[in-house]
Amino acid sequence: MYTDRERCVRAVQSKDARFDGWFFTAVLTTRIYCRPSCPVVPPKPGNMTFYPSAAACQQAGFRACKRCRPDTSPGSPEWNQRADLVARAMRLIADGVVDRKGVPGLAARLGYSTRQIERQLLAELGAGPLALARAQRAQTARILIETTPLPMADIAFAAGFSAIRTFNDTVREVFALSPSELRARTPKRRTAGSAPGVLSLRLPFRAPLNPDNLFGHLAATAVPGVEEWRDGAYRRTLRLPYGHGIVALTPQPDHIACRLTLSDLRDLTVAISRCRRMLDLDADPVAVDDQLRTDPVLAPLVDKAPGRRVPRTVDEAEFAVRAVLGQQVSTAAARTHAARLVTAHGQTVDDPEGGLTHLFPSTEALAALDPTALAMPRTRRTTFTTLIGQLAEGTLHLGVEGDWTQTRSQLLALPGFGPWTVDVIAMRALGDPDAFLPTDLGIRRAAQELGLPSTPAALTSHAAAWRPWRAYAVQYLWATDSHPINFLPV
């Protein structure tokens, strides 16, 4: 996108928010960089240059605009719709891997050399993994400075900086303000009276966003003790690298209100990344809907409620386990099976608001349970224990770094894993935007009602025109039914 100069100039001159996060505008005369929708008068085209990432702008000596705050743009949709090395690396960087394990740790997760990863990131994004992680640390620091009363030293280490001096220098370089000056610009009401470890954030997204099926699905399938819908918010517990957390997510017209309670503030970046991924907030709904509207059957569904997202997960292994528990049973039965596992094997947590009691059991805890205690048919018990065994041994990886094609092949090789189970995991856990469920009962009912081909093979052939967004087509087809997953809870 950033190499198409004419298109970028048009986006900046029209202040098109759709392109926020796709590229960044650096102004040669002022030495600042902005998001395309910056509210100030657009600079002359001759004074604009374009970069693919905030990190590349910073590398080139530009500072962040104080008006449009480009560091708060939604992430590029590229990283969630691709499965190549660069996209997988960007998902891992967003998940804090470089901060925790360095570039060698990133390379180990991806199975490539550090040199090859750095070369590909530089070629596409204009910055290497360290610079990209540094830009992310600066954004995390700004969030903590503006939303908490924490001392600056605590913020520095919570944001992932190894030294206070590096923290001060980075904040001053990126925002042209010292940490103290940045806090002084923040209204006091935003930092006063905050409980320890509690953060209130705004998660941006590209409009439109239809919250009905997104939050409806999460609420209707919520596992008691781990998830709940309360007072207009979806709440759940989070297992994080340094501890645990509880998040409350409330849909608003122009953002998602996010309230995080963390046992360790070093988990802030990871928690935000996983919540954004679960809600599919970095999607480009205009591109998706425009493609689906080319089918006369889907066009009325899209026009009626545009901006549907794919409800995903904060924990890929957890979702795979729940997918197996939900095989050939109702939503209510699947919740019951999962709740039993949580009560018996989940780690207890303290929820100040009540309602949430456990983290979903880790794969290590589930690997240690007695299979005969599982209240399910023998064949599904074998499916369950085989999945858990491979996850616990590390022979099956469902993390954000996974190669979608390879992971699908591994899942299909497991006993009891058919196309439906593999595709629902691909759609909601792996994040494949083109995953499709032609054998799903809800999809077949919708197809029959809409006059689409009814057999899985014929429907798959027809759905080729929806690629690469078939997972979003699934959401529109499901929405033709009266199932609770399609409605925002009241």
Domain boundaries, the chain: 5-72, 78-147+149-190
Cis peptide before 208 (omega within 30 of 0): yes
pLDDT above 60: residue 154: yes
Q: Average of pLDDT values for 280-304?
A: 96
Active site residue 57: no
Q: Are 268 and 143 in contact (CB under 8 A)?
A: yes
**Tens of pLDDT, residues 333-352:** 999 999 999 999 999 999 98
Active site residue 34: yes
pLDDT above 60: residue 189: no
| Active-site residue, selected from the candidate residues 20, 315, 432, 440 | 440
Q: Are 408 and 83 in contact (CB under 8 A)?
A: no
Q: 5-72, superfamily in CATH?
A: DNA Methylphosphotriester Repair Domain (3.40.10.10)
**Tens of pLDDT, residues 31-71:** 999 999 999 999 999 999 999 999 999 999 999 999 999 98
Strand 63-64 and strand 32-34: the pairing is parallel
**Tens of pLDDT, residues 420-435:** 999 999 999 999 999 9
pLDDT number for residue 246: 98
**Tens of pLDDT, residues 7-37:** 999 999 999 888 999 999 999 999 999 999 9
pLDDT above 60: residue 190: no
Domains 5-72 and 78-147+149-190 equal at CATH topology level? no
**Tens of pLDDT, residues 164-173:** 999 999 999 9
Provide the edge-to-edge strand list for the sheet that holds 256-262: 198-203, 256-262, 244-251, 233-239, 227-230
pLDDT number for residue 192: 40
pLDDT number for residue 194: 52
- pTM for this structure? 0.92
Q: Average of pLDDT values for 220-231?
A: 96
For the domain spanning 78-147+149-190, the CATH number is 1.10.10.60
CA angle at 434 for the pair 428 and 438, rounded to the nearest 5°: 85
| Active-site residue, selected from the candidate residues 34, 38, 65, 258 | 34
pLDDT number for residue 82: 87
